Structure 1
Amino acid sequence: MAETTIIKETNQLFPVFLKLEQLRLLIIGGGNVGAEKLTAVLTNSPATRIKIVALQVNNVVRAIAERHDNIIVVEEAYAAKHLDNIDIVIVAVNEKSLGAQIKADAQKRGLLVNVADTPELCDFYLGSIVKKGNLKVAVSTNGKSPTIAKRIKETLNEVLPDELDEVLDNMEAIRKKMNGNFAKKVQELNHITKSLSLQENVEEKNKGERHWRRIATWCLFAFFFMFVGYFILSYLPLNSLVDNIKTGISGLDSKFYWLILAGFFAQLVDGALGMGYGVVSTTVLMSLGVNLSAISGSIHTAEMFSSGASGYSHYKFGNVNKKLFKALLIPGIIGAVVGAYLLSRFGDQYANYIRPLIASYTMLLGIRILIIAFRKGQKKPQKVKRVGWLAGAGGFLDSFGGGGWGPLVTSTLISKGRSPRFVIGSVSITEFFVTLASALTFFAMIGVSHWQVILGLIIGGLIGAPIAARLVGKLPMKTMFIAVGVMVVIWSLRILLKAVGVF
């Protein structure tokens, strides 16, 4: 019996990246599908000249067209004349017969056509696009499953780091400095990038990273329990510890659960936006009638624990840029220690002059971030110079000025067009070490008081930290820019109004 050879179908599409901004595009259809195609084009090639033809255009398409001078909307039924002076066509209509007619008309003119949800009429497909700066990856399933393409896109967006754009810039600089013919340049570049294609190196790197992640996790927990144990045994003798715990539980204030809620919301805002812990917790504690003298010390002590949980959660969810973290860490700690030392020596009289100056600066940053959020097109990330000085100033302000690490450092980095997700994650994990350095200095001088307020804030913060870290990876980019900008403006206004005696 003769064997039957089965030839497996393969994807024979030839991938091409078009300079669409040099072409004239016609989109036929003004409904939800048309809006989806229009958004995809503008996301990748915002300067493309686009003509939209449809009997009726929905509000989404109309709003997009009003924001772009390169889009023309023609509200009338399709006719062959609309193909005049057009290079490429996208059909986004529900009527199959109309799609077939447009395809036939375009074919006579030698135009390439994409008909939504009708693969047999398509000359090309719109793949799912992964964009990391200058790097673009297009995913195609040969028209079989756009949903699978979308899921692969989401996976690649998570896996591919934003730093790849910096790698591309560095490789371009290296290529320009190379001498010799084309073949020699290719050979040298291949040698430089060889490690990127070696699976064993990737696996070894991941193995090493997991190893150090486990060490960091256990060290964090060890430090946490060591510090808690030292704190408890320093103030409560061991022989009366059980009695004190029972007395403490029975003596809990009726507002204790509100204190937990205050810690939860403060950390939810701070972990998701990279700032706001002090603003939110202070507002809630004041509304609960907590003594003003107790608020500052309690918040600073509790923030050490909540920032540790927040930083660890951001690290686990992949929100941390390690290069940025290393650049912020040491200068931030030094700034915090110097600020705490000077505050202990000279009091807070000078802090009252520094805070309004910083608040004026951050107010401008907050407004700039809001402008970026509503700007047409995405702001190209700029290289932030003197990150160490920025971290040192943030650490100093946090100790000496009573807060401001997040508003100063986070807002400055985001205003340069950096990804909010990785800025917030990196700043949050650094904040733990900055707050720890500051808190240890204050502990040595003034001790700890108001333990119920501190405990309530800690419990609420530990609950809110992982939720906030998860939100950072899920919130849309524009939403994060707006939220950060609003929070910076609120923080700045609060400081400025307090300086003139309103609060």
Structure 2
Amino acid sequence: MKGPYPEIQGGGSLILAWQVRNKHVLVIGGGEVAAGRIVNVLNADAKVTVVSPQDGLNDEVAFRIAQKQVTYIDRKFEPSDLDGVDMVLTAVDDPEASSQIYKLCHEKRIPANIADVPPECDFYFGSVHRDGPLQIMVSTNGNGPKLASIVRKQIAAGLPPNVGAAIQKVGALRRKLRKIAPDIEEGPKRMQWMSKVCESWSLEDLCEMDDEDMEALLGFYKPGNVPSFQEVRLGEPEGAFDGSFGWL
């Protein structure tokens, strides 16, 4: 019998935006898969160590090493490499070695991803679309990475080309709003007001918004009003007059 609440659908994974800034991530392997993993964690501002014999490096991984974007250890994995590590990504063509590494990580409670072995993964990598601060991930829970890529491309093709820039401007506005209304009890009001801005203004308006526009718009936070972009630019938004002898 169906109830009034969402029906539980088992078999999924919990999709999170994992913050690994300044965390120590160990990548074991130096081939094409390792190269993709390295890009993912570097984009998330992690501190990356790569362990792989030099003859196993592909051109991209060798480039990251030459540019000192990662710390490099020229040899095969050793258990001591796990000391002080926050996350492990394994991408080697040795199933037995991969399983042993996973067991070691499990014993040390280090989250690990073993490439192409879903049962030995604490988390999966999805197919990600990136546009500035916007990230959209499609996951098949390890069932079909290629299909995830196809779905991700279809979703990305339907997005407005300026959505990333609009999100950057919204982020800047939120930071300014926190400065003028920093109290914790203001939280619900800040969220409600920002929601009104995002719903009332078009993506084009948000992209065009500059610092002067933001300052003018923030003048309407206290009474909870959200004038249109055109009204803000004209400098005489409707409803701005508060009944006293001056504009809000």
Normalising TM by the smaller chain, what interval? 0.5 to 0.7
Matched, 1:107 2:106: yes
The one-letter amino acid of 2:27's match is: I
Deviation at 1:149, TM superposition (A): 1.4
Give the whole-Å Cα distance in 2 for the aligned partners of 1:106 and 1:189.
Answer: 42
Give the whole-Å Cα distance in 1 for the aligned partners of 2:199 and 2:94.
Answer: 51
CA deviation digits over 1:123-182, x for unaligned, max 9?
A: 011121111111112221111111121112222332223422332243345443475822
Secondary structure of 1:20's counterpart equals coil
Partner of 1:188: 193
CA RMSD, 1 decimal: 3.0
Partner of 1:128: 127
Question: For the Cα contact (< 8 Å) 1:106–1:112, is it kept in 2?
Answer: yes
Equivalent runs, 1:115-194 vs 2, <5 Å: 115-175=114-174, 176-177=176-177, 181-194=186-199
The answer for unaligned runs of 5 or more in structure 1 is 1-6, 197-321, 328-382, 384-503
Select which of 46, 49, 52 maps to 2:47. Answer: 49
Partner of 1:13: 13
The one-letter amino acid of 1:16's match is: L
- Normalised to the residue count of structure 1, the TM-score between the two structures is 0.35
Aligned identity (percent) is 25
Give the whole-Å Cα distance in 1 for the aligned partners of 2:150 and 2:109.
Answer: 34
The answer for unaligned runs of 5 or more in structure 2 is 1-6, 211-248
Give the whole-Å Cα distance in 1 for the aligned partners of 2:32 and 2:16.
Answer: 26
Secondary structure of 2:49's counterpart equals strand
Question: For the Cα contact (< 8 Å) 2:90–2:113, is it kept in 1?
Answer: yes
Give the whole-Å Cα distance in 2 for the aligned partners of 1:97 and 1:25.
Answer: 22
Partner of 1:26: 26
Equivalent runs, 1:75-86 vs 2, <5 Å: 75-86=74-85
Give the whole-Å Cα distance in 1 for the aligned partners of 2:186 and 2:8.
Answer: 42
CA deviation digits over 1:243-274, x for unaligned, max 9?
A: xxxxxxxxxxxxxxxxxxxxxxxxxxxxxxxx
Partner of 2:62: 62
Shift in alpha-carbon separation, 1:14–1:111, aligned structure 2, 3 A: same
Give the whole-Å Cα distance in 2 for the aligned partners of 1:172 and 1:81.
Answer: 41
Question: For the Cα contact (< 8 Å) 1:57–1:75, is it kept in 2?
Answer: no
Question: For the Cα contact (< 8 Å) 1:130–1:138, is it kept in 2?
Answer: yes
Give the whole-Å Cα distance in 1 for the aligned partners of 2:154 and 2:81.
Answer: 39
- Normalised to the residue count of structure 2, the TM-score between the two structures is 0.67
Give the whole-Å Cα distance in 2 for the aligned partners of 1:115 and 1:109.
Answer: 16
Give the whole-Å Cα distance in 2 for the aligned partners of 1:189 and 1:11.
Answer: 35
Equivalent runs, 1:464-503 vs 2, <5 Å: none
Give the whole-Å Cα distance in 1 for the aligned partners of 2:186 and 2:76.
Answer: 57
- Larger Rg computed on CA atoms: 1
Structure (1/2) with the larger strand percentage? 2
The one-letter amino acid of 1:186's match is: M
Secondary structure of 2:156's counterpart equals helix
CA deviation digits over 1:301-330, x for unaligned, max 9?
A: xxxxxxxxxxxxxxxxxxxxx89xxx9xxx
Give the whole-Å Cα distance in 1 for the aligned partners of 2:75 and 2:15.
Answer: 34
Partner of 1:92: 91
Structure (1/2) with the larger helix percentage? 1
Deviation at 1:195, TM superposition (A): 6.7
